[in-house]
Amino acid sequence: MAAASERRAFQLLHLVLGVGLLGTGLDTLVRALRDGHTPLAAVAAVVVVASVLFLFPRTLRVGGFTLLVVVLAVVVQRVLRNQWRLDLIVFAAGVWYVVVHGAAWGGVAPRAPTTE
């Protein structure tokens, strides 16, 4: 019983992270294109593609690691400007958790956390 509820919770985390980052990336991409901010549009486009890859079991790791690189680079950039965005750290932690434990669906069971 507990394993089934844990799996559903993990699936929800994976889905919410992927779709949330996809939505955020799309919103940022549209705004950056509208405002003519090409570098931001390029970063947002990478987030959009990485978010889609993150949602599929076969490309989860590529998408996840790409999201981590982009999100952590944005965190560093913001910290250097003294603009703390702790929500980005939460996104990065969630993405890392999903990447470490594997896909939540597609017949590939997530790896169980170990106590070692």
Residue 102: per-residue pLDDT: 82
pLDDT of residue 1: 47
In the predicted model, residues of the chain with pLDDT beneath 70 are: 1-2, 106-116
Q: For residue 39, what pLDDT is reported?
A: 94
pLDDT on residue 8: 87
What per-residue confidence (pLDDT) applies to 107? 54
pLDDT in tens, 64-90: 999 999 999 999 999 999 998 888 999
- 103's CB contacts (< 8 A; 6+ apart) are 14, 56, 57, 60, 110
At residue 59, the pLDDT reads: 94
The single residue listed with the structure tokens 């690691």 is 65
pTM value is 0.83
